[in-house]
């Protein structure tokens, strides 16, 4: 199966595809070599250049900070911007332009030609100067300060072998020959005050400031003749000269020491005293050098690969090759030790027909100070221009985006991502890098790794997240992405979350993850209903798991379907189900889940069932527990439930009391007897049978007693329990004399029991009766002591009875006396205000009268013998008109009638006048119960003053 290409596509190598199968091994070697990342990137210069070179051929180039100058074989000089658009054109020469030079300001351009002329043109004015030398001129260099100095100096040279130093004097321009006699001048470069030129002998450097020649570097041995392969000079900085000649590269460091005379002129002294020249680097190459330029702390070399079979013959002619077998020129980045850092073959148009001298290399001026660690500061990268007769190619250092693109092309996605995250490129690159990285991992089937990188790569892009969510879903790999899907910042559409949850639900191995996600994700980000609809059909299949059910329960809660959630919680035996029931008031739903709730926590389930007996009846609980006999210890649960139910309401579970007897016997025998005593709803025969089967003696005694079979119960107590005291208590409670006879009869053959019976029958049975029934000769242990105790107890009992009788009689007398005193008291009922009492106080009423209160507007329904009439005048009472007295003996009088009667009796007996009756009786008025605590002395005094007339008269008679 062929590998699937990535969505972003892959760039192919057309040339490699065209190679035959025989070259496969070489292609593999080339591919390995291409693993090194290139240092430069290339593009053809566009704009006006393609049009210009259709009818002409480029011969040389010069680069300033703001523009480019291109010389042609027709003698024209074209001024271009950096995009290749023509800004200006000079028809300067009639033959090929051999060299061009800008001043440092980029205001003047100088050109030389095979027509023997040198032309210097201003780019911004109409100024133009032409100098004729009548021999082909091959090199020119303007003074860097040409525009700023009035001397307007330049140097030039050609086939005549003279190096002219032209200076403007006050009488005009004057040429000075700096050097001659060593062959044609092939190249000249000017930097600050240093002028370097190359001729057939080698390279010389002249210091214009000191007017001295500084050094001479000999021409490399074995190099082609200069007219076939030109030497190349370039100043790397103010003191570093790079020389590329044939296959040799030398880097020369020059440090000058200016030394002026007293009058300001330079002295003519030896070179060694003026400068220090060192060759800091030198190496040989395997190719011919068609151009050289600095590249930070390295070099850019335009390499021409000679055809091996031609050898030296290649340089036998200056005419282009007609065979068309030349190789592509290469741009190589090398160190000063000739270590190759990068090699790029250039697809120059017509390269098959070009020689080494047909190419040239120029670079834009740059400081190089921004170069550090192999990277250039933005805006300060050097530009390199590779010129061939019909093409101009621009090379520049690869930036971060190029670096990232190369990493992606070679599938170094991790490094590309690290570079983007380090801020080495546009932020928009992260999306592209992330997308291609994820594509790569998907193709490699590394789904988990791709999913883990999504938060880092997709960041806050909701659209990107949604795109990859659906892409993973299409690949059936969405479950691995779900844990990384964000729920906020960004928040995706509901559909994305729902698709993710459904993907987890449909894969049994991710059901636990589904549960975790449902608990973690906010419910507001998705709709639970679609997920519920996808999960519900799985509950009846083999793919159903507890985790899936629990997740579905959580979704039911989110959707408000609490009853369904409760059913699932019950099936899953969730311990927190009781809190869930209380929280959502689901007591109506517990009817069908009795067994599950009891198994989960019977201590909480039982009070719940009892509290909601109207929802789940005892019969429901019992039936469901019995139906679950294979799942749990249903009889123990029944015991706990029925016991709690009985304690709550003894009659609520009466239908199951027979069952409860057996459950008590099995699980809590000590509670059986209290239950038998409290309940009236069990079958005595069944209960007795259960107790007999389990040998529960006291329970048998109680049941036999309730059944009326007291003698059998007594037999159990005596013969099986052997507890005579309990037997005596049992017989005492039955109040049956025959049972006493039976007790005595059964104890007669047991001496110890006879003794105990004698001790405990005092008060219930005559001990002499028992003694008379004891067979002669029966030895009773401790009989004497027990008889003494019987007599002592009898005497004590008799004494207690007499004492109790005396106390009872005394209490009766005291109570009668108290009742008599109370009966003599009266209640005064009046409608008068408190002012009447104040008036009586002024007449010397006693302290008792001050405590009386008037009861106003009260109807009195008298129970006196006179009905509602006065017992003296027999007139009816009218509470609103007159005051009355009512006594506890049930007699009532008008106030006036009682006063007259008391006065009459007092006068007959000649007793002292007593206080006003109304005042005397004020004590008996209602006083909120405070009068109940008065002393008896006060009562006696009151009794002496007030009497019921009828009762007093009757007592006296």
Q: Which of 4-8, 32-36, 927-931 has the lowest mean pLDDT?
A: 4-8
pLDDT of residue 671: 92
Q: By mean pLDDT, which of 310-314, 332-336, 425-429 is the weakest?
A: 310-314
CATH of the domain at 229: 2.130.10.10
| In the predicted structure, residue 323 carries a pLDDT above the cut 70 | no
**Model confidence pLDDT, tens digit, residues 370-384:** 444 455 555 567 889
**pLDDT at res. 426:** 64
Question: Are 219 and 289 part of one and the same domain?
Answer: yes
**Same domain for 171 and 206?**
no
Question: Is residue 449 included in any domain, yes or no?
Answer: no
Structure tokens at 936: 């008896």
pLDDT at 835 over 60: no
Q: What pLDDT shows up at residue 406?
A: 84
Distance, in Å, from the CA atom of 155 to the CA atom of 177, rounded to the nearest integer, reads 9
What per-residue confidence (pLDDT) applies to 5?
A: 36
Please determine, for residue 223, whether its predicted confidence score (pLDDT) is greater than 90: no
- Rounded to whole angstroms, the Cα distance separating 367 from 236 reads 9
CA distance 504 to 516: 11
pLDDT of amino acid 879: 54
Q: What angle (nearest 5°) sits at the alpha carbon of residue 124, between those of residues 123 and 125?
A: 105
At what angle are helices 594-611 and 618-627 packed, to 10 degrees? Answer: 160
Q: How confident is the model at residue 351 (pLDDT cuts 50, 70, 90)?
A: confident
CA gap 795, 799 in Å, rounded: 6
b/e per residue 634-670 (b: at least 16 CB within 10 A):
bbebbbbbbbbbbeeeeeebbebbbbbbbbbbebeee
Weakest-pLDDT range from 87-101, 219-233, 634-648:
219-233
Pairing of strands 163-169, 826-829: unpaired
Same domain, 359 and 224: yes
d(CA 391, CA 190): 27
Taking Cα atoms as reference points, which of 491, 518, 495, 493 lies closest to residue 505?
518
Q: What is the dihedral of CA 655, 659, 661, 666, to 10 degrees?
A: -160
Which DSSP string do the residues of 459-490 spell out, in sequence order?
TT-HHHHHHHHHHHHHTT-HHHHGGG--SSSS
Q: Between β-strands 248-256 and 275-284, what pairing exists: parallel, antiparallel or unpaired?
A: antiparallel
* Same domain membership, residue 329 and residue 345: yes
Residue 881 phi, psi dihedral angles, 5° rounding: -105, -45
Query: What backbone phi and psi angles, to 5 degrees, belong to 440?
Result: -60, -45
Band the pLDDT of 635: cuts 50, 70, 90: very high
Crossing angle for the helix pair 783-823 and 751-760, to the nearest 10 degrees: 20
Torsion sign over Cα 730, 734, 739, 744? positive
The proportion of the chain whose per-residue pLDDT surpasses 70, expressed as a percent, equals 77
Residues 335, 359, single domain; the answer is: yes
Place of tokens 């209640």: 827
Could you give phi then psi for residue 71, rounded to 5 degrees? -95, 150
Residue with the bigger pLDDT between 197 and 827: it is: 197
Mean pLDDT across the stretch 639-657?
A: 92
Closest CA to 147 of 213, 101, 87, 214: 101
Out of 185-189, 382-386, 662-666, 769-773, least confident range: 769-773
Shared domain check, 177 and 293: no
Cβ atoms within 10 Å of 345's Cβ, excluding its own: 16
Flag the least confident range among 115-129, 395-409, 585-599: 395-409
DSSP string, 525-578: GS-HHHHHHHHGGGGGSTT--HHHHHHHHHHHHHTT-HHHHHHHHHHTT-TTHH
Q: Give me the phi and psi of 454, to 5 degrees please.
A: -60, -45
CB within 8 Å of 711: residues ≥ 6 apart: 739, 742
Half-sphere exposure of 594 (CA within 13 A, CB side): 27
Rounded Cα gap, residues 48 and 64, in angstroms? 18
Looking at the DSSP assignment, which residues form a beta bridge with residue 495?
Answer: none
* 234 and 345 fall within a common domain: yes
Residue 603 in this model has a pLDDT that exceeds 50:
yes
Q: Tens digits of per-residue pLDDT, 727-747?
A: 777 777 776 666 777 777 777
Burial 157-171 (b: 16+ CB within 10 A, else e): bbbbbbbbbbbeeee
- List pLDDT tens digits, range 248-270: 999 999 886 655 443 344 444 34
Shared domain check, 121 and 105: yes
pLDDT of residue 419: 79
- In the chain, how many domains are there? 3
| Tokens standing for residue 5 | 């290409």
pLDDT digits (tens, 9 = 90+) for 110-151: 999 999 999 999 999 999 999 999 999 999 999 999 999 999
Residue 364 lies in a domain: yes
> 666-682: per-residue pLDDT in tens?
999 999 989 998 998 99
Counting runs of H as helices and runs of E as strands, what totals does the chain give? 33, 31
The highest-confidence range among 26-30, 438-442, 791-795, by mean pLDDT, is 438-442
CB count in 10 Å sphere of residue 759: 19
What is the average pLDDT across 73-91? Answer: 93
* Per-residue pLDDT tens digits for 430-465: 788 888 888 888 898 999 999 998 988 888 889 999
Q: Which of 290-299, 781-790, 883-892 tops mean pLDDT? A: 290-299
The torsion defined by the Cα of 472, 473, 479 and 484, in degrees rounded to 10, comes to 50
Half-sphere exposure of 393 (CA within 13 A, CB side): 22
- Domain end, chosen from 181, 206, 236, is at 181
For the ranges 225-239, 525-539, 593-607, 847-861, the lowest mean pLDDT is seen at: 847-861
Arithmetic mean of pLDDT, 407-430 = 76
| Domain assignment present for 228 | yes
Kindly tell me if the per-residue pLDDT of 6 is higher than 70.
no
Q: Is residue 676 part of a domain?
A: no
What residues have CB less than 8 Å from 479, skipping those under 6 apart?
A: 503, 504, 507, 510, 513
Q: What is the mean pLDDT of residues 473-490?
A: 91
Residue 626 lies in a domain: no
User: Who wins on pLDDT, 257 or 699?
Assistant: 699
Q: How confident is residue 311, by pLDDT bands cut at 50, 70 and 90?
A: very low
Q: What is the mean pLDDT of residues 754-772?
A: 63
In the prediction, which pLDDT does 284 show? Answer: 92
Lowest-pLDDT range of 383-392, 564-573, 766-775: 766-775
pLDDT over 50 at 757, yes or no: yes
Distance CA 226, CA 138 (A): 11
Domain-embedded: residue 343 = yes
pLDDT-derived band at 714 (thresholds 50, 70, 90) equals confident
Whether residue 230 is found in the same domain as residue 329:
yes
For residues 401-419, average pLDDT = 82
Q: Going by C-beta distance under 8 Å and a sequence separation of 6 or more, which residues neighbour residue 265?
A: none
Locate 848 and state its tokens. 């008792």
Contact predicate 532/556, CB 8 Å: yes
Give the pLDDT score at 754: 67
Q: What pLDDT score does 35 carry?
A: 66
Q: Could you tell me the residue range of the domain that residue 139 belongs to? A: 58-181
Verify that 105 and 169 share a domain, yes or no: yes
Lowest mean pLDDT among 417-426, 528-537, 721-730, 920-929: 920-929
Show contacts of 854-859: CB within 8 Å, 24+ apart.
854/830, 854/925, 855/829, 855/830, 855/925, 855/926, 856/830, 856/831, 857/831, 858/829
d(CA 102, CA 122): 10
862 band by pLDDT with thresholds 50, 70 and 90: very low
Supply the pLDDT for residue 37.
Answer: 79
Report pLDDT for 580. 92
Question: Are 343 and 234 in the same domain?
Answer: yes
User: What phi, psi does 157 have (nearest 5°)?
Assistant: -165, 165
151 plus 194 within the same structural domain: no
End-to-end CA distance of the chain: 144
Q: With a cut of 90, say whether residue 154 has pLDDT above it.
A: yes
pLDDT in tens, 35-57: 677 888 889 999 999 999 999 99
The 8 Å CB, 24+ separation contacts for 28-34 are 33/343
Burial (0-12, 13-18, 19+ Cβ within 10 Å), 431:
middle
CB 562, CB 594: distance < 8 Å? no
* CB of 231 closer than 8 Å to CB of 203: yes
Q: Who wins on pLDDT, 733 or 865?
A: 733
Q: Which range among 84-93, 105-114, 432-441, 873-882 shows the weakest confidence by mean pLDDT? A: 873-882
In this prediction the pTM is 0.56
Of the candidates 139, 162, 181, which is a domain's last residue?
Answer: 181
Confidence label for 842 from pLDDT (cuts 50, 70 and 90): very low
In a 3-state reduction of DSSP, which class is residue 887?
strand
- State the average pLDDT for the chain: 80
The reply to whether 345 falls in a domain is yes
Tell which wins on pLDDT, 3 or 433.
433
In a domain, 891, yes or no: yes
């Amino acid at each position: 199966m062929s590998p699937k290409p990535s969505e972003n596509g892959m760039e192919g190598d057309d040339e490699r595809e065209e190679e035959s199968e025989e070259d496969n091994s070489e292609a593999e070697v080339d591919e390995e070599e291409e693993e090194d990342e290139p240092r430069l990137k290339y593009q053809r210069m566009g704009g006006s250049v393609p049009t210009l070179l259709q009818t002409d051929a480029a011969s040389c180039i010069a680069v300033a900070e703001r523009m480019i100058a291109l010389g042609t074989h027709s003698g024209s000089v074209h001024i271009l911007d950096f995009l290749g658009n023509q800004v200006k054109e000079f028809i300067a020469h009639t033959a090929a332009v051999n060299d061009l030079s800008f001043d440092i300001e980029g205001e003047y351009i100088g050109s030389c030609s095979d027509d023997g002329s040198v032309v210097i043109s201003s780019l911004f004015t109409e100024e133009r100067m032409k100098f004729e030398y009548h021999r082909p001129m091959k090199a020119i260099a303007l003074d860097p300060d040409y525009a700023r100095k009035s001397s307007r100096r330049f140097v030039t040279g050609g086939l005549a072998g003279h190096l002219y130093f032209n200076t403007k004097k006050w009488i005009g321009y004057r040429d000075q020959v700096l050097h001659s006699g060593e062959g044609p001048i092939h190249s000249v470069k000017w930097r600050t005050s240093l002028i370097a030129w190359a001729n057939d002998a080698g390279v010389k450097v002249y210091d214009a400031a000191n007017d001295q020649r500084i050094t001479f570097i000999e021409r490399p041995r074995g190099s082609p003749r200069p007219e076939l392969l030109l030497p190349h000079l370039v100043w790397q900085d103010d003191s570093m000269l790079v020389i590329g000649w044939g296959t040799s590269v030398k880097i020369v460091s020059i440090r000058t020491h200016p030394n002026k005379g007293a009058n300001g002129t330079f002295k003519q002294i030896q070179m060694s005293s003026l400068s220090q020249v060192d060759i800091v680097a030198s190496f040989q190459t395997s190719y011919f050098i068609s151009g050289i330029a600095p590249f930070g702390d390295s070099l850019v070399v335009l390499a021409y690969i000679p055809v091996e079979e031609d050898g030296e013959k290649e340089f036998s002619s200056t005419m282009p090759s007609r065979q068309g077998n030349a190789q592509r020129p290469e741009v190589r980045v090398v160190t000063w030790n000739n270590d190759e850092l990068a090699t790029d073959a250039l697809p120059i148009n017509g390269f098959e027909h070009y020689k080494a001298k047909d190419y040239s290399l120029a670079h834009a001026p740059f400081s190089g100070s921004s170069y550090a660690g192999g990277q250039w500061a933005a805006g300060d990268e050097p530009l390199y221009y590779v010129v061939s007769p019909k093409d101009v190619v621009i090379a520049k250092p690869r930036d971060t985006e190029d670096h990232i693109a190369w990493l992606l092309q070679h599938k170094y996605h991790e490094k590309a991502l690290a570079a983007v995250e380090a801020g080495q490129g546009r932020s928009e690159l992260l999306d592209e890098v992330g997308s291609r990285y994820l594509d790569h991992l998907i193709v490699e089937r590394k789904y988990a790794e791709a999913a883990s990188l999504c938060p880092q790569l997709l960041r806050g892009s909701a659209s990107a997240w949604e795109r990859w969510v659906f892409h993973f879903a299409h690949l059936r790999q969405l479950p691995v992405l779900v844990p990384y899907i964000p729920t906020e910042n960004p928040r995706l559409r509901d559909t994305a979350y729902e698709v993710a949850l459904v993907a987890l639900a449909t894969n049994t191995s991710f059901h636990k993850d589904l549960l975790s996600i449902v608990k973690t994700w906010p419910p507001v980000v998705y709709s639970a209903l679609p997920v519920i609809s996808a999960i519900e059909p799985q509950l009846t299949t083999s793919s159903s798991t507890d985790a899936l059910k629990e997740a579905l329960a959580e979704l039911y809660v989110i959707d408000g379907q609490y009853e369904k959630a409760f059913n699932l919680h019950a099936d899953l035996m969730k311990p927190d189900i009781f809190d869930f029931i209380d929280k959502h008031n689901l007591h109506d739903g517990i009817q069908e889940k009795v067994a599950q709730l009891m198994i989960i926590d019977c201590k909480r389930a039982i009070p719940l069932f009892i509290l909601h007996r109207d929802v789940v009846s005892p019969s429901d609980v019992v039936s469901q527990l019995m139906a679950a006999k294979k799942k749990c210890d249903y009889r123990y649960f029944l015991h706990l439930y029925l016991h709690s139910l009985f304690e709550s309401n003894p009659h609520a579970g009466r239908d199951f009391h027979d069952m409860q007897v057996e459950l008590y016997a099995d699980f809590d025998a000590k509670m059986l007897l209290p239950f038998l005593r409290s309940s009236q709803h069990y079958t005595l025969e069944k209960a007795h049978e259960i107790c007999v089967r389990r040998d529960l003696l006291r329970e048998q005694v109680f049941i036999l007693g309730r059944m009326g079979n007291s003698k059998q119960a007594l037999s159990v107590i005596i013969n099986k329990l052997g507890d005579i005291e309990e037997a005596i208590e049992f017989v005492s409670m039955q109040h049956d004399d025959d049972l006493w006879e039976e007790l005595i009869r059964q104890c007669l053959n047991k001496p110890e029991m006879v003794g105990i019976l004698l001790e405990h029958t005092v008060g219930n049975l005559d001990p002499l009766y028992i003694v008379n029934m004891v067979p002669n000769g029966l030895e009773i242990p401790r009989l004497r002591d027990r008889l003494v105790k019987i007599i002592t107890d009898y005497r004590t009992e008799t004494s207690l009875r007499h004492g109790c009788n005396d106390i009872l009689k005394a209490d009766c007398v005291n109570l009668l006396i108290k009742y008599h005193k109370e009966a003599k008291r009266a209640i005064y009922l009046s409608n008068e205000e408190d002012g009447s009492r104040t008036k009586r106080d002024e007449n010397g009423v006693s302290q008792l009268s001050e405590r009386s209160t008037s009861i106003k507007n009260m109807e009195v329904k008298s129970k006196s013998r006179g009905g509602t009439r006065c017992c003296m005048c027999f007139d009816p009472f009218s509470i609103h008109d007159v005051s009355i007295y009512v006594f506890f003996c049930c007699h009532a009088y008008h106030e006036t009638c009682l006063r007259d009667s008391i006065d009459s009796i007092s006068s007959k007996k000649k007793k002292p006048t007593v206080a006003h009756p109304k005042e005397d009786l004020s004590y008996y008025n209602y006083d909120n119960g405070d009068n109940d605590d008065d002393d008896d002395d006060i009562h006696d005094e009151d009794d002496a003053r007030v009497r019921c007339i009828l009762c007093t008269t009757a007592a006296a008679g």
